[in-house]
Amino acid sequence: MDRRQPRQDRQVLMIPYGRQDVSQDDIDAVTEVLRSDFLTQGPAVPRFEAAICAATGAKHAVASNSATSSLHVACLALGLGPGDILWTVPNTFVASANVGLYCGATVDFVDTTPDTYVMDADALEAKLTAAATAGKLPKIIIPVHFAGQSCDMNRVAAMARSYGVKIIEDASHAIGARYLNQPIGDCAHSDICVFSFHPVKIVTTAEGGCATTQDDELAYRMGLFRSHGITRDADRMTMDAPGGWYYEQLELGLNYRMTEMQAALGVSQMKRLDDFVARRNELARRYDDILSDLPLTRPAQNPDAYSSYHLYPIQVENRARVFKALRDNGIGVNVHYIPVHLQPYYRNLGFRPGDFPQAESYYDHAISIPLYAGLTDADQDTVVAALKRSI
Ligand SMILES: *Cc1c(COP(=O)(O)O)cnc(C)c1O
């Protein structure tokens, strides 16, 4: 048997850039499920979905096994397919763009703002105007609430609606965040909003995602695509059910279901959502304060937004040297994000350096320093001391 040795070359990091916060209550919630009748397709997933609705004000929530899956079913529910176009931003995780390609659509990007690194409403306006003239409007745009901060959704939504373009918010970073004092996820400015529950995000289900919407039909269709395109609802069937065993496959769906253990963890974690976000904000204010004298750029705050602070991205000169010095000191810094269009896979589709200059110049200087609810003030001082030495 192949007995894997632990990797020796992997550095043990003292302070990671992000980390889950799992309590005894969380552990008890998961073990309780393991002793119950249902490990999947039981009562915990609907309970988790209800908790997401309660926290966001959404009418519907459809949980899945990842945000990537939720973005995919969101695109499918909106009818994205071959011949269609999807736009997102380059400053995001590859999944925001890949889901368009999964559906056979063409993907393009809208550049980001120089100070908050989210979709630039001016760039969107210019690109929409040109696309309308060329008859190449996107079917869907996916703005990303980078680091937990909403983009200018008022303007983005007004423009998209005027051109009949659908909006999916990639709020993977932004559960617990607010825009104009309303919770992200209420879909006041979008058709669908998607959250991630990967362990580095705000609350976790290990792997997991959720899509919210106010629209009954979109919720139904996302639920359908999440589970093989199968319905057991007699009202949705095309034929009369001959008996209780009967179900119908209506679409080519997938198996993107969340397990009961994941959902139970999520229900338990959601009880601490406000505390997690408050602590992240407190730590961010502390970084703002302690870092104010250093030669670096701190993340700007949009006064319309209350950020959930998934990340605290700074910009420095000589990023590679600072990054290495911090890693060598046991500080688990990271970079968010390598612009998606510069990935080899996307270069093969024709994208080039220089296509999205704002996202590229931000990337050249970006470092995300540790930020998570369990980070202590002392940990934070250790990070700042190492940062001071390295700059
Ligand atoms: C984490 C993340 C995703 C993917 O989330 P998964 O739950 O890991 O699939 C998508 N978009 C953004 C912006 C993310 O940060």
Domain boundary among 270, 296, 327: 270
Q: Which two tokens stand for residue 127?
A: 């690109």
Range of the domain at 369: 273-390
Name the token pair of 271.
């009880």
d(CA 262, CA 20): 14
Candidates 141, 161, 166, 130; CA nearest to 86 is 141
Q: Both 246 and 306 in a single domain?
A: no
User: H or E element: which one contains 231?
Assistant: strand 230-231
Angle at 107 between CA 336 and CA 64, to 5 degrees: 65
Residues 324 and 256 in one domain: no
Same domain, 265 and 144: yes
Is the C-beta atom of 340 inside 6 A of ligand 1? no
- For the Cβ of 90 lying below 6 angstroms from any atom of ligand 1, the answer is no
Q: Is 357 a member of any domain? A: yes
In this structure, the answer to whether residues 166 and 233 fall within a common structural domain is yes
149 φ, ψ (degrees, to nearest 5): -110, 125
Would the pTM of this model clear 0.75, i.e. be above it? yes
**177 and 85: one domain?**
yes
Beta strand pairing status for 178-179 and 305-306?
Answer: antiparallel
Between the CA of 117 and the centroid of ligand 1 the distance, in Å, is 16
Say which CATH number the domain at 349 has. 3.90.1150.10
**Is 155 in the same domain as 278?**
no
On whether the CB atoms of residues 96 and 115 are closer than 8 A, the answer is no
- Number of residues that this document lists for the chain: 391
Q: Is the CB of 66 under 6 A from ligand 1?
A: yes
Last residue of a domain, one of 209, 243, 270: 270
What three-state secondary structure class fits 201? coil
In this structure, are residues 175 and 185 in contact, taking their beta carbons and an 8 Å threshold? yes
Position in ligand 1 atom list of the atom nearest CA 196: 7
Residue 272 token pair: 């601490």
User: Distances in Å between the alpha carbon of 54 and those of 10, 60, 186?
Assistant: 41, 10, 10
Residue 368 host element (H or E): strand 366-369
Token pair in block for residue 148: 């937990």
If asked whether residues 338 and 248 sit together in one domain, one would say no
Which among 171, 173, 4, 164 has a CA at the least distance from the CA of 85? 164
* Domain final position from 270, 303, 324: 270
What is the Cα–Cα distance from 223 to 94, expressed in whole angstroms? 24
Residues 247 and 352 in one domain: no
Closest CA to 48 of 59, 29, 39, 61: 61
Q: Please state the atom number of ligand 1 nearest to the C-alpha of residue 336.
A: 15
CB of 337 shorter than 6 A to ligand 1: no
Residues 243 and 358 in one domain: no
Distances (CA, A) of 215 to 48, 60, 158, 190: 19, 8, 18, 11
- What span, in angstroms and rounded, lies between the C-alpha atoms of 89 and 104? 18
For 216-266, the pLDDT digits (tens) are 999 999 999 999 999 999 999 999 999 999 999 999 999 999 999 999 999
Residue 12 is assigned to a structural domain of this protein = no
According to the model, what pLDDT value does residue 11 have? 53
Three-state SS at 378:
helix
Q: In this structure, are residues 315 and 112 in contact, taking their beta carbons and an 8 Å threshold?
A: no
The CB of 380 under 6 Å from ligand 1? The reply is no
Same domain flag for 261 and 333: no
| Number of separate domains in the chain | 2
Residue 9 lies in a domain: no
Pocket test for ligand 1, best of 96, 168, 196 (most atoms within 8 A of CB): 196
Which of 89, 93, 146, 262 most suits a substitution to test ligand 1, by most atoms within 8 Å of the C-beta?
Answer: 93
Q: Both ends of the chain: CA-CA distance in Å?
A: 48
| 377 and 344 in a common domain | yes
For ligand 1, whether the C-beta of 93 sits within 6 Å is yes
Q: Is residue 1 part of a domain?
A: no
CA separation for the pair 138, 105 (Å, rounded): 10
Catalytic site positions = 201
pLDDT at 3: 46
- Is 19 domain-assigned? no
d(CA 127, CA 140): 14
Q: How far, in Å, from the CA of 195 to the mean position of ligand 1?
A: 8
As a whole number of angstroms, the distance between CA 69 and CA 185 comes to 17
| Cβ atoms of residues 96 and 209 within 8 Å | no
pLDDT in tens, the chain (391 residues): 444 444 444 555 689 999 999 999 999 999 999 999 999 999 999 999 999 999 999 999 999 999 999 999 999 999 999 999 999 999 999 999 999 999 999 999 999 999 999 999 999 999 999 999 999 999 999 999 999 999 999 999 999 999 999 999 999 999 999 999 999 999 999 999 999 999 999 999 999 999 999 999 999 999 999 999 999 999 999 999 999 999 999 999 999 999 999 999 999 999 999 999 999 999 999 999 999 999 999 999 999 999 999 999 999 999 999 999 999 999 999 999 999 999 999 999 999 999 999 999 999 999 999 999 999 999 999 999 999 999 9
86 three-state secondary structure:
strand
Q: What is the pLDDT of residue 264?
A: 98
Q: Is 144 in the pocket of ligand 1 (CB under 6 A)?
A: yes
| In a shared domain, residues 101 and 149 | yes
Which residue carries 């005027």 as its tokens? 162
